Structure 1
Amino acid sequence: MTPSAAELLASTTARLAPDPQANRLVPLISRGEASRETLAVLALEQRWVIAADRRSFLHLAERAAATPIAAAFFTSLAEGESLAAERMTAFAEACGVTAERTRTYDPLPGCQAYPAYVSWLALNASPADAILALTANFSAWGGYCARIAEALRTHYAFPDEARAFFDLFAQPAPDLDSRATAAVSAALDEGRLDETAAHRYGRLLQCYEAMFWNSLRAIP
């Protein structure tokens, strides 16, 4: 029996769940052992990621224009990145990041591999396959954000506004989930979904996600 869209999203997310040991930084932040400099570099790298991902999602929305359900999913992601950019400002300021440092900062290749691959997906993957891969990855990202938000409160005494970026992604997103399910369901019905390709894309996203965090782990 062919699985439903909801079942396929759930099973793909479970299959692509990262090894608990893959991310070597978030446990340090959770224990309050990461330096303020590491948090500052996290803020600087995220500024690059947010801007790049927003453009990638907008491009995917354009490519999916003939399928309004999928286009709405990517448009929602782009809008989320715009909100994330606003909330990142308070986190960066709490980390002591100045406007001058932001302007002159040179990003780390290991951190920017993830948005570079999202850009590749925006250019090369079918929108339906990208939805499945991205949704599976978001589960791990949301878990990391929840742990960081709690650590910023308990170990680093960051105010609410400085934690808002991580709270945004840690919260459930039922509207986004329903759009992903509807888009995957339509793709299944029309034979537009390549599960093998989507799984491959999702696996690479998880690898690049781990690379992002572990590149930051090397910061003193």
Structure 2
Amino acid sequence: MTRSAAELLDTIRRELAPGESENRLVPLVAEGKADKAAIGALAAEQRRIIEADWRSFLTLAARSTEPASREFFSGLAGGEGLAKAKLTPLAAACGFDEAAIRDYKPRPGCQAYPAYVSWLALHSDPATAVLTLVANFAAWGGYCATIAQGLREHYGFDDEACGFFDFFATPVPELEEQALAAAQAGIDAGIDLSPAMEQGRLLQAYELMFWNTLAEG
């Protein structure tokens, strides 16, 4: 029997949920033990990631023939534009001005994630990519919430400096509703969404690589 989109998403999230010790940077920030330069590097890496993901999401929206998928990816692209503006005060709080961000040398371990999202934009069925991406949102949002709290408690960052992390830590139920509608439309159209599990596993691994590269740096 074909499982519903909600059942598939629950299965993917359950099987791919990262372990508590897999992300090495977030606990350091939570305890106030991370170097502020690592947070500045995160902002510089995210500037490049956002610009890449923005284009990838627009590409997926353009490839989507189903309205719910187009709406989902268009919404993600719009969110990237809002998030990009919040990186400047975060970087400034870490001592990174625009010149420092421009001159920053991105690390391969951090840029593997957007490279794979670009692969999804070109090669994944859009409905499958929806499940792949939304399955990772809960973990990413949790990381951002923990970092925002740690930056306030241990580093004295204000709301503006924490705005980037607050933005992604805030749940958006409508986004998941769109994702489920898009995935369900794919199932109803006979699309095999099972590759979402493999794609989700790779995406999660690349995200952990992002965090742990910064922790090692």
TM-score by length of 2: 0.97
Partner of 2:102: 103
- The 5 A counterparts of 1:123-162 are 123-162=122-161
How many residues get paired? 217
- The 5 A counterparts of 1:40-119 are 40-64=40-64, 66-119=65-118
Partner of 1:190: 189
Letter in 2 for 1:24: R
The answer (yes or no) to whether the contact 1:13–1:135 under 8 Å persists in 2 is: no
Partner of 2:216: 218
Letter in 2 for 1:162: A
Partner Cα separation in structure 1 for residue 197 and residue 10 of structure 2: 12
Report the Cα offset of residue 194 of structure 1: 2.5
Partner Cα separation in structure 2 for residue 211 and residue 73 of structure 1: 26
Letter in 2 for 1:28: L
Stretch deviating more after TM superposition (9-18 or 26-35): 9-18
Q: Percent identity?
A: 54
Report the Cα offset of residue 20 of structure 1: 1.7
Partner Cα separation in structure 2 for residue 98 and residue 169 of structure 1: 23
Report the Cα offset of residue 90 of structure 1: 1.1
Partner Cα separation in structure 2 for residue 19 and residue 193 of structure 1: 28
Letter in 2 for 1:52: A
- Flag as ranges the 4+ runs of structure 1 deviating above 4 A: none
Question: What is the alpha-carbon root mean square deviation over aligned residues?
Answer: 1.0
Partner Cα separation in structure 2 for residue 129 and residue 172 of structure 1: 22
Matched, 1:206 2:204: yes
TM-score by length of 1: 0.96
Letter in 2 for 1:112: Q
SS at match of 1:18: coil
The answer (yes or no) to whether the contact 1:31–1:151 under 8 Å persists in 2 is: yes
The answer (yes or no) to whether the contact 1:73–1:180 under 8 Å persists in 2 is: yes
SS at match of 1:155: helix
Report the Cα offset of residue 75 of structure 1: 0.4
Report the Cα offset of residue 71 of structure 1: 0.6
Partner of 1:180: 179
The answer (yes or no) to whether the contact 1:128–1:193 under 8 Å persists in 2 is: no
Report the Cα offset of residue 4 of structure 1: 2.1
Deviation by residue 1:21-80 (Cα, 9 ceiling, x = unmatched): 21111110110100111111111111111111111000000000x211101000000011
Report the Cα offset of residue 19 of structure 1: 2.0
Partner Cα separation in structure 2 for residue 67 and residue 103 of structure 1: 38
Partner of 1:167: 166
Gapped regions of structure 1 (runs ≥ 5): none
Deviation by residue 1:124-176 (Cα, 9 ceiling, x = unmatched): 11101111111111111111001001111111110101111101111111110
Partner Cα separation in structure 2 for residue 153 and residue 16 of structure 1: 30
SS at match of 2:111: helix
The answer (yes or no) to whether the contact 1:60–1:127 under 8 Å persists in 2 is: yes
Partner of 1:35: 35
Gapped regions of structure 2 (runs ≥ 5): none
Partner of 1:19: 19
Partner Cα separation in structure 1 for residue 71 and residue 172 of structure 2: 14
